[in-house]
Amino acid sequence: MLRSLGKTCFAAAHGLTYSVYARSDRGRFATASPFIICYHRVVEDFGRSSRTAIPSMLISTAMLERQIDWLAKRFRMVSLDEIGLQLAANLPFNRPVAAITFDDGYADVYHHAMPLLRRKGVPAAVFVVTDLVGTGRPQIFDRLYLCLKLLQERGLSLSPVIESAVRSAGISIDLNAVKQTANEPLGLMTLLLKALPRRDVEAVINALEQSSSVDNAVLEECAPLTWEMIKRMHHGGFIIGSHTKSHTLLTSESLETATHELLESKTLLESKLKSEIRHFAYPDGRFNSPVVQAVQAAGYRFGYGICRWRDPELPLLTISRKVLWERATVNVWGSFSPSIMGCHSRGVFDAGRACEHDHSPTFLKEMNGTIN
């Protein structure tokens, strides 16, 4: 409550200051940077869906429309192709431009977002995890979160459950870190995804699923796109990009595995769509120099993170985006706030905040073929 109140007051004060600046000659002729938004799932009822899904990955159709309407009044809504070509030519953006993207390739983007965007004439892009297309299987993090959520609702303490699952799977992990994490599904999910390679996360999930009763109807709600949906979106003007083969966190895997993920996804998408795939989004925004170089070697022209850090050597492969969701732009009263949305568009809340993923060259090292 206090954080929301502070955010509301700060945004209102900053909005007043900015409006004065924008009316000045200096503000009027300032060159704008592209504002690229990253969404994930689009649902009809945020309250209902957030009971079983990760809330920060959800936005309702009503809130998405509010945000898009705000953007359309202040920005020229363009495609990633247009932004990419202008950045590649090193041309200034003399007018504010914005672009809409969706990560992970959820089917609800097709069902709920695409009709809204078509009606408003707004271009968009979707980044697809190719191994999941048409399978009906949810993302690995959706499965993990749901297991933990269900176990928590049964009144179980999650740390001992995780410790048991890790031991039964024969996996090595810092159990002290698990114990220090509050009995909260999102925190434990994040810890496991950061600490373990994908195969070990799968082993933990398999152990947890034996202890939890997962409703198939809930899993169906976070189903991925089908190839038919993707083709229709592509033919309807959506840019289709890669989000790897299996949504593996590339900085947690070997360079060989990362290269495999990048190439196979690109090749399959190009085969299915008969079109060059030039855009790539890093899962969870995780990249470092070896990973970015692997993306370049795989033939992608443009790459997108979810923070403001860009690789000075390969800036076109580390283009910044802003993640927004249902609660990202609401005030203390729970209503959409134009001033808060404005702060997001100008990066006000990100100023001075370091990315949780360390992308700096001094941090990067490669040992035994594993990117750390």
- Domains delineated in the chain: 2-136+226-371 (3.20.20.370), 140-218 (no CATH)
What pLDDT, on the 0 to 100 scale, is given for residue 140?
A: 92
According to the model, what pLDDT value does residue 288 have? 92
Give all strands (DSSP E) within the chain, no chain letters: 35-39, 41-43, 58-60, 76-77, 97-104, 124-128, 239-242, 279-281, 302-304, 322-323, 366-367, 370-371
Q: Is the pLDDT of residue 10 over 70?
A: no
Q: Which of 97-101, 114-118, 232-236, 253-257 has the lowest mean pLDDT?
A: 253-257
Region 25-33: mean pLDDT is 47
pLDDT at 363 over 50: no
pLDDT tens column, 289-300: 999 999 999 999
Please write the tens of the pLDDT for every residue from 125-170.
999 999 999 999 999 999 999 999 988 888 888 888 888 888 888 8
CA distance 43 to 116: 12
- pLDDT score at 370: 32
Mean pLDDT on 97-112: 98
Would you say residue 14 has pLDDT above 80? Answer: no
pLDDT band at 352 (very low <50, low <70, confident <90, very high): low
More confident residue, 18 or 61: 61
Mean per-residue pLDDT over the chain, rounded: 87
With pLDDT > 70 as the criterion, what percentage of the chain qualifies?
A: 87
The better pLDDT of the pair 201, 70 is held by 70
Residue 22 has pLDDT above 50, yes or no: no
Any idea which of 31-35, 127-131, 201-205 has the lowest mean pLDDT? 31-35
Confidence of residue 226 (pLDDT cuts 50, 70, 90): very high
The answer to whether 147 and 203 are in contact (CB under 8 A) is: no
Whether residue 240 contacts residue 231, with contact meaning beta carbons closer than 8 Å, is answered with: no
- Answer yes or no: is pLDDT of 206 > 60: yes
pLDDT confidence of residue 360: 57
- On the question of pLDDT at 47 being above 80, the answer is yes
Give the pLDDT confidence score for residue 13 in this predicted structure.
52
Q: Supply the pLDDT for residue 268.
A: 98
User: How many percent of the chain have pLDDT more than 90?
Assistant: 62
**Are 111 and 122 a contacting pair, CB within 8 Å?**
no
CA 34 to CA 80: how far, in whole Å? 10
Distances (CA, A) of 106 to 151, 251, 302, 361: 25, 23, 22, 33
* pLDDT tens digits, 72-97: 999 999 999 999 999 999 999 989 99
Q: To 5 degrees, how large is the angle CA 51–CA 355–CA 363?
A: 130
Structure tokens of 152?
């928590």
Choose between 28 and 69: higher pLDDT: 69
